[in-house]
Amino acid sequence: MREVIKMSYSITVYTNPFCGHCYALKAWLKEMEINFIERDIVNDVSAAQEFRELGQKYTPFTVIETVGERHEILGANIKKIARILSLDKDVIV
Protein backbone atom coordinates (compact mmCIF):
# COMPACT_ATOMS: atom_id res chain seq x y z
CA MET A 1 0.00 0.00 0.00
CA ARG A 2 1.26 3.45 -0.86
CA GLU A 3 1.53 6.19 1.70
CA VAL A 4 -1.28 8.70 1.27
CA ILE A 5 -0.15 12.18 0.34
CA LYS A 6 -1.01 14.38 3.28
CA MET A 7 -0.66 17.69 1.52
CA SER A 8 -3.33 19.64 -0.26
CA TYR A 9 -2.68 20.02 -3.97
CA SER A 10 -4.31 20.28 -7.36
CA ILE A 11 -2.74 19.01 -10.56
CA THR A 12 -3.76 19.99 -14.07
CA VAL A 13 -2.12 18.23 -17.00
CA TYR A 14 -2.46 19.79 -20.45
CA THR A 15 -2.30 17.02 -23.05
CA ASN A 16 -2.96 16.20 -26.65
CA PRO A 17 -4.09 12.82 -27.98
CA PHE A 18 -1.03 12.46 -30.26
CA CYS A 19 1.54 12.84 -27.47
CA GLY A 20 3.26 9.68 -26.23
CA HIS A 21 4.80 11.48 -23.25
CA CYS A 22 1.30 12.61 -22.25
CA TYR A 23 0.12 8.99 -22.15
CA ALA A 24 3.17 7.97 -20.11
CA LEU A 25 2.67 10.77 -17.58
CA LYS A 26 -1.04 10.04 -17.18
CA ALA A 27 -0.33 6.33 -16.71
CA TRP A 28 2.23 7.10 -14.00
CA LEU A 29 -0.14 9.48 -12.18
CA LYS A 30 -2.87 6.83 -12.25
CA GLU A 31 -0.46 4.11 -11.09
CA MET A 32 0.61 6.32 -8.18
CA GLU A 33 -3.07 7.03 -7.42
CA ILE A 34 -2.55 10.77 -7.80
CA ASN A 35 -5.69 12.70 -8.69
CA PHE A 36 -5.34 15.10 -11.60
CA ILE A 37 -7.41 17.05 -14.09
CA GLU A 38 -6.67 16.40 -17.75
CA ARG A 39 -7.13 19.27 -20.20
CA ASP A 40 -7.05 18.06 -23.82
CA ILE A 41 -5.81 21.02 -25.89
CA VAL A 42 -6.86 19.45 -29.20
CA ASN A 43 -10.48 18.53 -28.45
CA ASP A 44 -11.36 21.20 -25.87
CA VAL A 45 -11.38 24.82 -27.04
CA SER A 46 -11.30 26.27 -23.52
CA ALA A 47 -8.33 24.03 -22.60
CA ALA A 48 -6.49 25.21 -25.73
CA GLN A 49 -7.17 28.83 -24.78
CA GLU A 50 -5.87 28.31 -21.22
CA PHE A 51 -2.79 26.57 -22.61
CA ARG A 52 -2.04 29.49 -24.94
CA GLU A 53 -2.60 32.01 -22.13
CA LEU A 54 0.02 30.13 -20.12
CA GLY A 55 2.41 30.74 -23.01
CA GLN A 56 2.92 27.07 -23.76
CA LYS A 57 3.52 25.26 -27.04
CA TYR A 58 4.39 21.70 -26.03
CA THR A 59 2.70 18.92 -24.08
CA PRO A 60 2.51 17.51 -21.55
CA PHE A 61 2.45 20.65 -19.46
CA THR A 62 1.62 20.20 -15.79
CA VAL A 63 0.53 22.80 -13.25
CA ILE A 64 0.72 21.80 -9.60
CA GLU A 65 -0.76 24.12 -7.01
CA THR A 66 0.00 23.47 -3.36
CA VAL A 67 -0.61 25.66 -0.35
CA GLY A 68 1.06 28.94 -1.26
CA GLU A 69 3.00 27.60 -4.25
CA ARG A 70 2.50 27.07 -7.96
CA HIS A 71 4.75 24.83 -10.05
CA GLU A 72 4.77 24.60 -13.84
CA ILE A 73 6.46 21.56 -15.39
CA LEU A 74 7.08 21.10 -19.10
CA GLY A 75 7.38 17.52 -20.29
CA ALA A 76 6.82 14.23 -18.48
CA ASN A 77 9.23 15.10 -15.67
CA ILE A 78 8.12 12.44 -13.22
CA LYS A 79 11.01 12.99 -10.81
CA LYS A 80 10.22 16.69 -10.48
CA ILE A 81 6.52 16.02 -9.94
CA ALA A 82 7.36 13.39 -7.32
CA ARG A 83 9.72 15.80 -5.56
CA ILE A 84 7.05 18.53 -5.44
CA LEU A 85 4.53 16.05 -4.02
CA SER A 86 7.14 14.59 -1.62
CA LEU A 87 6.93 11.14 -3.23
CA ASP A 88 10.64 10.62 -3.90
CA LYS A 89 10.85 7.33 -2.01
CA ASP A 90 7.89 5.85 -3.93
CA VAL A 91 8.87 6.86 -7.45
CA ILE A 92 9.06 4.11 -10.03
CA VAL A 93 10.30 5.50 -13.34
- pLDDT tier at 89 (50, 70, 90 boundaries)? very low
Please give the residue that has the higher pLDDT: either 93 or 36. Answer: 36
The hierarchical CATH code for the domain 9-90 is 3.40.30.10
In whole angstroms, what is the distance from residue 76 CA to residue 73 CA? Answer: 8
In contact, 33 and 59? CB cutoff 8 Å = no
φ, ψ of residue 56 to 5 degrees: the values are -100, 155
* Mean pLDDT over the full length of the chain: 89
Sign of the CA dihedral running 74, 76, 77, 81: positive
Residue 21 has pLDDT above 90, yes or no: yes
Question: Largest alpha-carbon pair distance within the chain?
Answer: 39
Residue 1 has pLDDT above 60, yes or no: no
Q: What is the pLDDT of residue 88?
A: 53
